[in-house]
Amino acid sequence: MNTPSDLRYTKEHEWVKIESDDVVVFGITDFAQSALGDVVFASLPKVGASLTAGQTCGEVESTKSVSDIYCPVTGVVKEINEKLANNPEILNSDPYGAGWMVRLSGVSKTQVETLLDAAGYQKITESA
């Protein structure tokens, strides 16, 4: 399983990357996409929506099940990955790159730093 060390993680299997002072990007982890199987649909929040950490902000549907996506940090949706509408399988092939889901602005770096580091996330996935 791929768990990049430069990202932060949630127990709900989302990853977060700081892009600038108050902007982050997030998506689902390699572990999550693997557990889901072939992704066939992704529902994302609307640009401009204010999201709170822990809030359901979308869902991913696979051939196996439907799973909620939880916002990892509090912020405002700056951009969504429009490519996922027609190519949701990108979440399987490149979850940490082209498969990013949401870009948030107005995010506190302190809140991001409270999330799991790669080693902490790996411990959770090993026991799953």
Q: Do 118 and 4 touch, CB atoms closer than 8 A?
A: yes
Q: For residues 91 and 106, give the distance between their C-alpha atoms in angstroms, rounded to a whole number.
A: 25
- What CATH number was assigned to the domain covering residues 8-107? 2.40.50.100
Q: Is the pLDDT of residue 1 over 90?
A: no
**Boundaries of every domain in the chain:** 8-107
Mean pLDDT of 82-97: 97
Q: Is the pLDDT of residue 26 over 90?
A: yes
The predicted-structure confidence for 40-54, as pLDDT tens digits, reads as follows 999 999 999 999 999
Query: What is the reported pTM?
Result: 0.95
The position carrying tokens 């092939």 is 93
What pLDDT, on a 0 to 100 scale, did the predictor assign at position 128? 75
